[in-house]
Amino acid sequence: MNTSKVACLLFTVSMILISYSIMAASGESLYEGVCGETKNPDCLPLLKDDPRITSAKNYLDLSTFILEFGEKKAREGKEYMLQFAKDHPTELITYCANNYESPITSFLSAKAELIEDPRTATYDALVAGDVPKQCAKAMEEAKIDNPPINKIVTLLSPIAYYAISHLVVI
């Protein structure tokens, strides 16, 4: 290995260590930092009850746990929306329910790309929120309250994005 490669490697490692020491000194956990980035007050209460998320020691684990949580909640959302569409069969709500597989697929795709292509994983994480946002609009047009599960899936999209963005090397 030539001298410039060694210097670059040492610089990169030192920057990683410095960033971890700053975080440890501040007493802020990884998930709290990510929630701060989302600027959404519902983030901390949503994530704090999952011990895997709150105890994550690195951004790869945190991102994985958030994406798994997102997939789980998206599956719950799909079931809820399919039943909801049966009870309220408007065109928009039926469309919403029939497309709720999309956030599940997006969370799974982002998880599969975390190591090889975290930049694409950030995109997939953001796209996971598209259908839930459309569902919220459909609910609003039907003068129906946006259900909590849809709000959760919508919120998990940017949370996952911010967590994964820490894995992207510039």
145 dihedral zone (left: phi>0; alpha: psi -120 to 50; beta) = beta
Q: Looking at residue 28, what is its pLDDT?
A: 82
Q: Looking at residue 24, what is its pLDDT?
A: 44
The verdict on domain 28-165 having CATH code 1.10.3720.10 is no
Q: Looking at residue 4, what is its pLDDT?
A: 63
Neighbours of 110 (CB within 10 A): 30
Q: Looking at residue 142, what is its pLDDT?
A: 86
CA angle 98, 99, 100 (to 5 degrees): 100
pTM above 0.75, yes or no: yes
Domain ranges of the chain: 28-165
Block means of pLDDT (10 residues each) for the chain, length 170 residues?
56 47 59 97 96 97 98 98 91 92 98 96 98 94 93 98 92
CA gap 51, 37 in Å, rounded: 20
CA gap 170, 167 in Å, rounded: 9
Distance of CA 97 to the CA centre of its chain: 20
144 dihedral zone (left: phi>0; alpha: psi -120 to 50; beta) = beta
